Chain A
Amino acid sequence: MIHIPLWKTVLTVAVCLLGIVFISPNFFTKEQLAHFPDWFPKHQVVLGLDLQGGAHLLLEVDFNAVVHEQMNSLADAVRTSLRKERIGYVGLTAKKDFVTLTLRNPADLEKAKTLLKQADSDIEIISTPEGQLTLKLSDTAISERKRSALAQSIEIVRRRVDEMGTSEPYIQRQGEDRILVQLPGLKDPTRIKNLLGKTAKLQFRFVDTSIEAEPGKAIPGVDILPEEEKGRNIYYAVKKQIIVTGENLVNAQPGFDQYNRPDVTFKFDSLGAKKFGDATRNNVGKIFAIVLDDKVISAPRIETPILGGEGSITGSFTVQEAQDLALLMRAGALPAPLNVLEERTVGPGLGADSIVSGERATIIGILLVVAFMFIAYSFFGAIANIAVLFNLILLFAALSVSQATLTLPGIAGIALTIGMAVDANVLINERIKEELRHGRKMLSAIDAGYNRAMTTIVDSNLTTLIGVGILYYFGSGPTRGFAVTTSLGIIISMFTAISLTKQIVAWWIQWKRPTRLPI
């Protein structure tokens, strides 16, 4: 008799039953599952974008732009505070990641340094005895600002994607400066790329009508900005001073004006309403500009003071553009521009085809293995095949419970794992044969077969897990799907190919009491 402790038998049976319970949701539709009682598991296998179709975008937060912008404002701050204290300087310039200037009188060095330190405590100042100063952000300040810019960007991306109404978007940080956006079911990511490609910095500023707006002209306190509409070369001289920004918006909705043209109505919070109200009350008759990402989208004349904090933008929009603008205004501005580093879209047709061909290939592959095992080991092969069946059940149960993603390479990984998983049974069966040839009795040969093959099985599975683990760590999405199914399959095979088959053999011996092994 092969002795297996009762607790092991109970555990083996329990695991198999649990596998059946947890794989079962996959045989029902989501609607059917909704009617099932609460205790019934609801998780189904999650399909990767390559199988269900959808868009994958890898975005990069352009920190250089952030740092550059901060250097510009640092230069402005330096200018203001040095002028105030009447410290003479020349050559104040903001470079990509530092600001440089030279003091007229090197004796002012210490005074200037303390003064500048007060302007921004995060800056480091390097000076030469000749009075040349270089100001840059400290490394900790840069990494701190990067971190917060990334976190904020993710939040804004999430809001914009949610506003678009995409179902079950997946948005995640990748490394130090990247954001992964996955949109299952989305056929064409063009619109979302356009939306994410805009920083959407919204500003309300006055137009200086006393200056002729010529592109390229440099006037202190004024920016020459183009109009948003394509094909018309209209420029405005917009004052640098900002009345109010998009940060003070609480709502924006697309609609139509009295002439049935698409427009966007918006509402400020109380602070924004006050700022905007004050500015319009004192400037009736003047023109202000609504500026989005350094382009003028509308430049209306102030007819009456706007005190209620509500207004509307009428440009030459299409309905879609009005919708997009309202969406951008609601979701808020990105702290930095985003670049699309990688885009992968799979149409629903290809995804469905991939599932069909992947399923077919895997089933044929597994059937070949099963047939081979039966030919090679007859009865013991059949037992190994029961193990294969439960390996598959448990694998899909584990995928459902863990909500790990199944990809096309992952499907191929299942067939490969089954081919490798029967290795344990091959090892055991070969060992039993060998022990029988060496004259062992049947039962002790089975025992020795299982025990001696054990170290080898553990060895070979460990090396496979190491390899697959490395693949998971370094691989991209679909490759990870392969690593997931392979590693799950290998781990499960340790149970099905060893514990389960031994249990079945023990039951069989108990039942049939054979005198020789059909191996």
Chain B
Amino acid sequence: MGLQLIPYDTNYNFVAKKNIIFGILIAIALLCLGSIFFQGFNYGIDFKGGLLLEVRTKEAADVAKLRSDLSGLVHGEVTLQEFGGPNDILIRVERQPGGDKEQLAALAKIKEKLGTSVDYRRVDSVGPKVSEDLIRNGIYAVIWALVAMLIYIWFRFEWQFGVCSLITLAHDALIVLGLFSIFQLEFNENAIIAILITITYSINDTVVIYDRIRENLRKFKKMPLRDLINRSINETLSRTILTSTTTLLALLGLYFFGGPVIAAFSLPILVGIGAGTISSITVSAPLLLHAHLRRDQILETSENNEA
């Protein structure tokens, strides 16, 4: 016999609390916006250009000596950071003024200085053209994902559902962006992956709830919308929580046991999926109350879709 994690007769009144919930979520969203606006992002070399070297030294690395060796050798700031262990050092060099050629020249200088005393585990050099492309592609990817989801929901349901889900998704994307800004996590292509996974995951939860709302609209033709939405959220609550739990468990495995690269990759997805689940339950459905839903229209299209 399995475990009933969420009692089947759970009936929490999400809709009645919606103003409090909306208030909290808006406050968090504003905090994220504020941080993005005032603090900005800690762009990684994917988006900013520059050099990144991960080197392993034979003995515990003398960071201070390495730093003094390298600074002055190239333009701009050189940052060194221990990465995983005392022998592993991450060296970041700002994008060099000029073009791609200056960038490669700087890399050659650093390699000449370090010589064969270290093992080069990773060497990345991203020039201005590529970083511009990557940033543009990242922005396009997020915008197109939002548009695609809007169209999908519009097509499957009604435009009101589409708009409500879009607001929810924008909120989720903002939370992920806020995470990167507030904690100054390295903002690179992984951030784009995190945002897209968050969006698709959040839309899943939203679709499941919307599906149930439509089903209940057909079943309970007289029930007030407010009660109907609340009933639908509660009926799907068990599924929503369980699915998120399995995904979050998989991500926790990645975060704690995957080493620094995978951990940095999975943390924003972890937060995004958590935020997406909460917003699907507390925002996407209650928002429908403000969207001037017309029952007759919904029933009509849903019958067409079934046919």
Contact = CB atoms under 8 A, between A and B. Distances in A.
Nearest to A459: B207
B167 interface: no
Contact of A466 (B126, B200, B247): B200
Nearest to B147: A470
B193 A423 contact: no
Contacts of A363: 253
B14 interface: no
Interface stretch (B22-30, B64-72, B133-141, B289-297): B133-141
A347 B265 contact: no
A477 to B, nearest CB: 10
B175 interface: no
B125 interface: yes
B122 A361 contact: no
Q: How large is the interface on B (under 10, 10 to 19, 20 to 34, 35 or more residues)?
A: 35 or more
Q: How large is the interface on A (under 10, 10 to 19, 20 to 34, 35 or more residues)?
A: 35 or more
Q: Is the interface of B mostly helix, strand, loop or mixed?
A: helix
Contact of B107 (A343, A437, A518): A343
B128 to A, nearest CB: 9
Interface in A65-123: none
B130 to A, nearest CB: 4
B262 A463 contact: no
Interface string A356-375: 01101111111111001101
Contacts of A482: 193
Interface in A372-429: 372-373, 375-381, 408-409, 411-412, 415-416, 418-420, 422-423, 426-427, 429
Contacts of B107: 343
Nearest to B257: A361
Contact of B5 (A376, A460, A476, A519): A376
B204 A366 contact: no
A345 interface: yes
B168 to A, nearest CB: 13
B257 A380 contact: no
A498 interface: no
B2 A519 contact: yes
Contacts of B138: 474
B43 interface: no
A466 B261 contact: no
B81 to A, nearest CB: 16
Contacts of B211: 455-456, 459
**Residue of A342, A378, A437, A466 contacting most chain B CB atoms (<10 Å):** A342
Interface of A: 58, 60, 187-188, 190, 193, 339-347, 349-350, 353-354, 357-358, 360-369, 372-373, 375-381, 408-409, 411-412, 415-416, 418-420, 422-423, 426-427, 429-430, 433-434, 437, 455-456, 459-460, 462-464, 466-468, 470-471, 473-476, 478-479, 482, 518-519
